[in-house]
Structure 1
Amino acid sequence: MARFSANLGFLWAGQPLLDGIAAAARAGFKAIELHWPYDTPAGAVRDACARHGLTLLGVNTVRGDVAAGENGLGALPGREAEFQAAVDQSLAFCRYAGGSAIHCMAGRVPPEARTAARETFLDNLRRASDKAAAADIMLLLEPLNSADAPNYFYSTADEGAAIVQALGRPNVRLMFDCYHVGRVGNDVIATMARLWPTIGHIQIAAVPGRAEPDGGTLDYRPVLAAVDRLGYAGWVGAEYKPVGDTDAGLGWVEALGAHR
């Protein structure tokens, strides 16, 4: 049966991070995921997780100049030093706070620049993989659907899996976000089964609205059954945007027959 982690990038997002950690524990979650926690000291996050009995999973590398529309640096030629600095920042945070994974954000790339961007991303990930392996930390690659993230370097799980396979590094894996997979129109269960050897983490949200996962067009009950059948032993990240109060919307956990 699936175990859910609370993604505090979206859940209890209006609260300071340490308050969100406490809220996740009160709601019964045993693990959390973060987006960009770097304004909060890693030691404070570590202590809060220990105090509330929570496992910290992963964080994201920074996006770059958000005001200019940047959404990651890993696949941007000429920005290699900035991306490696972002990886170093995430590694330092994970080492101190107790995290075990880093989502390496690729960034927006115009179609005509994709070939050069792919080589840049591969080179960047090789360097990052060596550093992460020394700390026993996994690097995760997450394609983002083109409706939500226009011109993001990759938008499909197959593209992400191809990068994982090209690298052949055991600590570089695919972040299989069922929302993004379903949002581009792919069969979530069939795609998951086909790409299973590349997958390192799974996330869920309603399709197409990204709200609580018991709504929308994607029925997560067979998806979670497939996750169990495939032998997944990790956490399933609840990375959705609550339609209202986060606590009031948590009935989806029981509705899907799973637990936190």
Structure 2
Amino acid sequence: MLKFCANLTMLFTEVGSLDRPGLAAQAGFDGAEVLFPYDFSAADWEAALNGLPLALINTPPGNWGEGDRGFAAVTGQEQRFRDGFLRAAELATRLKAGRVHVMAGVAKGPEAEQTYVENLAWAADQAPDLALTIEPINPDDMPGYFLNDFDQAARIIDDLARPSIGMQFDLWHAARIHGDAGQVWARHKARINHIQIAGFPARNEPGGGGFDLTGLCSELESGSYAGWVSAEYRPARATVHGLGWLGALKARSRLIGS
């Protein structure tokens, strides 16, 4: 059966961060992801999660308000990236997080790509038992972000040829970057180790936009995908009032799996 997790950075924001895992579990989610868990201790998160699996965290982004979006591709910031990655890896190991998303940062050009590739290879060597993921992010939501194309991400993953490094398939970003998220999935599904879903056109509750979400779930059920399907969207109203999609997809998953 598919495993659905709640992005606790975007969902259940009606309450404080450490109260969100409990609400996610009550709502029927199988796990959680937290983009930036660094404002609280590992002990705080362990207590808050209370056994709820943690699917993913990001590497530290730096000073978000000043425009930092990670450092993996930022030439001259190699040590800052590596210190941040080790911090993320330690926390992920402590919390048994299934993935670490390595944030590329704001950068461009061949030198940035070389820095990115070298840092990714270094990270894979430092944490060989930890799954890493890279995510193309559309330039409207994150101007200047280095990794902004799924084909670019695929080429980097293929060149690295590290089994621990995969691609994060975010429906929202795939549609914003390439127009047809279905074609992106078809081209790159063999490289994908984490999935995030949202609705179109406003990034609200999953559904719409011409993407066959039910078909994707059926394909995942019948294939070898062992990762998570994460709800990363902006609720149109209180989170608990917009979870009909979760019940429907989980019921379908149970039916297929029975």
User: Is the TM value for this pair above 0.5?
Assistant: yes
TM-score with structure 1 setting the length? 0.90
1:34 aligns with 2:34: yes
Give the match's secondary structure for 1:184. Answer: helix
How many Å separate the matches in 2 of 1:237 and 1:258?
17
> What amino acid does structure 2 have at the position aligned with 1:74?
A
Match in the other structure for 1:130: 125
Match in the other structure for 1:75: 73
Given the alignment, which residue of 185, 201, 209 partners 2:202? 209
Give the match's secondary structure for 1:57. Answer: strand
Residues 204 and 239 in structure 1, CA contact (< 8 A), matched pair in contact too: yes
* Structure 1 residue 217 displacement after superposition: 4.5
| Offset from partner CA, 1:43-82 (integer Å, 9 cap, x none) | 2212333x3x411111001112222212111100000000
Structure 1: give runs of 5+ residues left out of the alignment: none
Give the match's secondary structure for 2:194. Answer: strand
Match in the other structure for 2:148: 155
* Structure 1 residue 18 displacement after superposition: 1.8
Q: What is the count of residue pairs matched by the alignment? A: 253
Identity, % of aligned pairs? 37
Match in the other structure for 2:4: 4
Structure 2: give runs of 5+ residues left out of the alignment: none
> What amino acid does structure 2 have at the position aligned with 1:106?
A
Residues 19 and 48 in structure 2, CA contact (< 8 A), matched pair in contact too: no
1:177 aligns with 2:170: yes
Match in the other structure for 1:224: 217
> What amino acid does structure 1 have at the position aligned with 2:91?
F
| Offset from partner CA, 1:98-126 (integer Å, 9 cap, x none) | 212110000112xxx41110000011111
Give me the CA root mean square deviation.
Answer: 1.9
Give the match's secondary structure for 2:168. Answer: strand
* Structure 1 residue 197 displacement after superposition: 2.2
Match in the other structure for 1:92: 90
Residues 104 and 141 in structure 1, CA contact (< 8 A), matched pair in contact too: yes
Given the alignment, which residue of 158, 173, 191 partners 1:198? 191
How many Å separate the matches in 2 of 1:108 and 1:255?
38
Residues 2 and 253 in structure 2, CA contact (< 8 A), matched pair in contact too: yes
How many Å separate the matches in 2 of 1:38 and 1:236?
23
| Offset from partner CA, 1:169-207 (integer Å, 9 cap, x none) | 111110111111112234323322321221111111113
How many Å separate the matches in 2 of 1:183 and 1:99?
28
Q: Which is further off, 138-147 or 211-220? A: 211-220
Give the match's secondary structure for 2:167. Answer: strand
Query: Which structure 2 residues correspond to residues 16-35 of structure 1 after superposition, within 5 A?
Result: 16-35=16-35
* Structure 1 residue 216 displacement after superposition: 4.4
Cα pair distance change 1:40/1:258, threshold 3 Å: farther
Give the match's secondary structure for 2:142. Answer: coil
* Structure 1 residue 156 displacement after superposition: 2.0
How many Å separate the matches in 1 of 2:15 and 2:34?
13
